[in-house]
Amino acid sequence: MNKSTVLFVFLISTFLLTAQTQQTEVESLKKVSDFPIGSSLRFIPFMNDAPLQKIQQHHFNSYTAGSDMKMYQISPRPNVYYWDRVDSIVSYTKKNNQRLFGHTLIWHSATPWWVEKKAKKDPVWLDKFMKEYIQKYVSRYKGKVHGWDVVNEGFNTKGAGYRTESIWYKTMGETYIEKAFRYAHEADPDAVLFYNDFNIERDTLKFNSMMKMVEDFQRRGVPISGIGFQMHIRMDTPNEVIAHTLKRAADTGLQIHLSEVDIIFNTHDDSKGGGVQLYNELTDAMRMDQAKKYAELVEIYQTTVPKAQQYGITFWGFNDRDTWINRFFKLKDWPCIYDENLKPKPAFYGFLNALKADY
């Protein structure tokens, strides 16, 4: 099936099937995909939302915790570890035959206040704590968590260079990233270990900084298994730039995870509350444009990343009701494949039909 035929089928089926979804169950994403399809979830509200659970179980075979597995949740105070919620997530994913992906071990924004305070007083302590934390955590869930975002967002928000304001960088230098991978690998040699970041699909300076680190790790045998492209993209993000960065990343031979996908219409400056409201309502034309963009993203992933390296596509929330975009950036946007009423949008069908296409 050539590209024009794929697009034609996708457009026609979008119009027809959107009307049908009010009465019938839609086709399952995971059943038509050659790679895992996931979504992030906040466990407590999710477990009290039966309609959301039904949709999640129907479409997804990979589960990423939105915040439940981050450091401030696991170790909010010195010498305290809370495992109960992660244990419950493990139980849920096992019961529903879903892959559990661990997000994230080390992230500057998820570092508890007490860790930063102690690291400033005793820099040597931070390395010891990181090793203890990672190895206690990863070994506890060895064989239960399939892969981990070992380090998240270690490079600048924009442009080249490491995120030097991070307590991890200020205390340990850039070696903290390498050490985190080594500690995680020691705890679970079979886990798939990712470096994960945002804007690397379109900010080539940032991407090049990350790739320099990745390629250095590969040369020196640092146990990195994959690259996570968060892929929080806008409608105007050029497809050719996405294809270029994915191709170069895939040339490393590592697993490639589109780890936090959503597609917005408005814009922002990557800071909390930094949204710029360009569109106040979602029109039919915008819905169709978004559906096309989701289809194109799937096509780029499938034609650029070799099958053996396709770790999967994960949505950072899959419905407009719960999207983080509006809360964080103080926007009104519609970035997901399901709408505020938990109904599939044209974006869903764009994504679904692209999964089914023969490229």
Residues with catalytic annotation? 153, 260
Q: Name which of 346, 334, 208 is nearest 280 in CA terms.
A: 334
Cβ neighbors of 28 (< 8 A, separation 6 or more) are: 58, 59
Cα radius of gyration rounded to whole Å, the chain: 20
Q: What is the 3-state secondary structure (H, E, C) of 169-196?
A: HHHHCCHHHHHHHHHHHHHCCCCEEEEE
Q: Could you give the CA distance from residue 356 to residue 128 in angstroms, rounded to a whole number?
A: 48
Residues 6+ apart with CB under 8 A from 228: 149, 194, 195, 196, 197, 257, 259, 260
| Torsion angle (degrees, nearest 10) of CA 43, 48, 49, 55 | 50
Task: Yes or no: say if 103 and 137 are a contact pair by the CB < 8 Å rule.
Answer: no
Q: What DSSP character marks residue 254?
A: -
How far from 296 is each of 4, 39, 67, 195, 285, CA to CA, in Å?
Answer: 12, 19, 29, 24, 17
The one-character DSSP state at 122 is -
Beta-strand pair 310-315/255-264? parallel
End-to-end, the C-alpha distance of the chain in Å comes to 7
CA angle 197, 199, 203 (to 5 degrees): 125
Neighbours of 248 (CB within 10 A): 15
